[in-house]
Amino acid sequence: MAEAGELLLQQTLQAIRAHHQAVDEGKPADEVERLRLEADHLYQTVIDYQLHKAGTLGQSVH
């Protein structure tokens, strides 16, 4: 995953940690959901980049 770039990976990990911290601290549901969506989006961006680099993004698995 390092191919996705150090900055993107750091942002993704920071977003995941922020979401977990918000859950642990009992933050309002709308804030937790916003953080979850941000973390999910960044994580998917890393995955998509890796699939693109591998040449498999958009190709059928069958």
Q: Is residue 31 part of a domain?
A: yes
| pLDDT tens, residue by residue, 4-44 | 568 888 999 999 999 999 999 999 999 999 999 999 999 99
Q: Is residue 33 part of a domain?
A: yes
Q: What is the mean pLDDT of the segment spanning 33-60?
A: 87
Q: Is residue 35 part of a domain?
A: yes
Q: What are phi and psi of 57, to 5 degrees?
A: -65, 125
What does 3-62 look like in DSSP terms, one character per residue?
GG-HHHHHHHHHHHHHHHHHHHTT--HHHHHHHHHHHHHHHHHHHHHHHHHHT-TT----
Q: Is residue 41 part of a domain?
A: yes
Phi-psi region of 26 (alpha: psi -120 to 50; beta: other; left: phi over 0): left
In contact, 32 and 23? CB cutoff 8 Å: yes
- The count of structural domains within the chain is 1
